């Protein structure tokens, strides 16, 4: 909470971004204390990692500090106060923290907890609910991420010109010595980060993990490479149109699993139609859709980052490209 109050008071936007990262990390540790390990993993990687990075990139492209407010925000304070007190009045009826007989624990949750092992067969109940019982919601979520990537593409698309590359290349080579330590350590670390991303992806059935976290970690390995070696080198390693194709492929994979179930005579996204034994059909279905989710999330994050970082409104911003 102290972090949040700091954010209100501070005017320097980069400091605000760092405080937001600290706030994300604090809430991730709170989630661990609340036994929500999957959520803590996602919040730590997404909220405290990627979100801070994107904000930092946006702040460097716009203003650095905030203008002071000229009028007293009395009306805003009054509205906030009234809303807050109404909400507090509303919570007086709510069940106490941690009570086991709250209505939320009575209806669907016991069925998930008790029957998940027989019906789906993966130990991680969150993964089984996310990928099997509520797979349709997860399909919607993947489409939302894809749409956000397309939106960022529509707003910030960078038209890539060949002659910029040679100028940046010579600059990069002369800076190689300056960044030697960072570049060598990054080259050693990036394979391990990618390996960890694959581990999280496929281990999501047994521990915290799954497609989203894996996609974000994989994208962060690519961000590290881009930040240290320059945009033009990164563009040559990872082709822009290939990444867009990958993003669409992830969504397509997810949807086609559902359609294959339809074609086999069952309902949409009913995995028991995928193989002879229903439980192994569930395993196969979960594996495929988590793969689709991971591919889409990783490629959309890379698309967003490349378009943010490569966005130059005029030639004078070229020297900002080699971070």
* C-alpha count within 13 angstroms, C-beta hemisphere, residue 178: 9
Asked if 192 interacts with other proteins (CB under 8 A), we say yes
Asked if 232 interacts with other proteins (CB under 8 A), we say no
As a whole number of Å, the CA-based R_g of the chain is: 23
Q: Return the structure tokens found at 158.
A: 């960078």
List 65's β-bridge partners, or say none: 12
C-alpha dist (Å) from residue 138 to 37, 210, 255, 321: 19, 12, 11, 36
Cβ proximity to other proteins: between 148 and 263 the closer is 148
Vertex 180 angle, CA 178 and 181, to 5°: 120
Cβ proximity to other proteins: between 102 and 263 the closer is 102
Per-residue interface string for the shown chain with other proteins, residues 90-129, x marking contact by CB under 8 A:
-xx-x-xxxxx-x-xx--xx--xx--xx-----xxxx--x
Q: Which of residues 286-315 bind other proteins (CB under 8 A)?
A: 297, 300, 304, 307-308, 311, 313
Of 196, 263, 182, the closest CA to residue 226 belongs to 182
51 close to 24: Cβ distance less than 8 angstroms: yes
Asked if 34 interacts with other proteins (CB under 8 A), we say yes
60 close to 308: Cβ distance less than 8 angstroms: no
Residue of 24, 250, 258, 281 interacting with other proteins (CB under 8 A): 24
Q: Which of residues 125-144 bind other proteins (CB under 8 A)?
A: 125-126, 129-130, 134, 137-138, 141, 144
Cβ proximity to other proteins: between 100 and 159 the closer is 100
Asked if 27 interacts with other proteins (CB under 8 A), we say yes
Per-residue interface string for the shown chain with other proteins, residues 41-80, x marking contact by CB under 8 A:
-xx--xx--xx--xx-xxx-xxx--xx-x---x--xx-xx
């Amino acid at each position: 909470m102290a972090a949040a109050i700091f954010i209100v008071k501070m005017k320097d936007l980069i400091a605000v971004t760092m405080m937001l990262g600290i706030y994300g990390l604090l809430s991730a540790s709170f989630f661990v204390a609340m036994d929500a390990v999957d959520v803590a993993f996602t919040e730590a990687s997404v909220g405290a990692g990627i979100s801070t990075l994107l904000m930092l990139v946006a702040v460097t492209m716009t203003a650095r500090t905030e203008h002071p407010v000229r009028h007293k925000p009395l009306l805003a304070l009054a509205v906030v106060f009234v809303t807050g007190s109404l909400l507090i009045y509303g919570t007086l009826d709510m069940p106490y923290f941690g009570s086991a007989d709250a209505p939320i624990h009575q209806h669907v949750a016991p069925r998930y907890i008790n029957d998940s092992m027989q019906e789906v067969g993966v130990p991680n109940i969150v993964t089984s609910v996310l990928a099997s019982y509520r797979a349709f919601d997860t399909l919607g979520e993947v489409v939302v991420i894809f749409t956000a990537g397309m939106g960022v593409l529509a707003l910030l698309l960078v038209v890539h010109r060949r002659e910029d590359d040679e100028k940046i290349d010579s600059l990069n080579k002369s800076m190689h010595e300056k960044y030697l330590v960072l570049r060598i350590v990054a080259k050693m670390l990036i394979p391990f980060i990618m390996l960890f991303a694959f581990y999280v992806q496929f281990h999501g059935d047994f521990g915290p993990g799954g497609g989203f976290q894996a996609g974000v970690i994989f994208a962060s390995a690519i961000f590290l490479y881009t930040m240290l070696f320059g945009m033009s080198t990164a563009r040559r390693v990872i082709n822009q149109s290939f990444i867009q194709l990958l993003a669409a492929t992830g969504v397509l994979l997810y949807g086609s699993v559902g359609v294959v179930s339809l074609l086999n005579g069952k309902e949409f996204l009913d995995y028991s139609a995928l193989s002879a034994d229903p439980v192994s059909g569930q395993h196969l279905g979960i594996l495929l859709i988590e793969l689709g989710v991971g591919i889409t999330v990783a490629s959309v994050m890379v698309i967003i980052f490349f378009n943010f970082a490569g966005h130059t409104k005029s030639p004078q911003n070229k020297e900002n490209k080699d971070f």
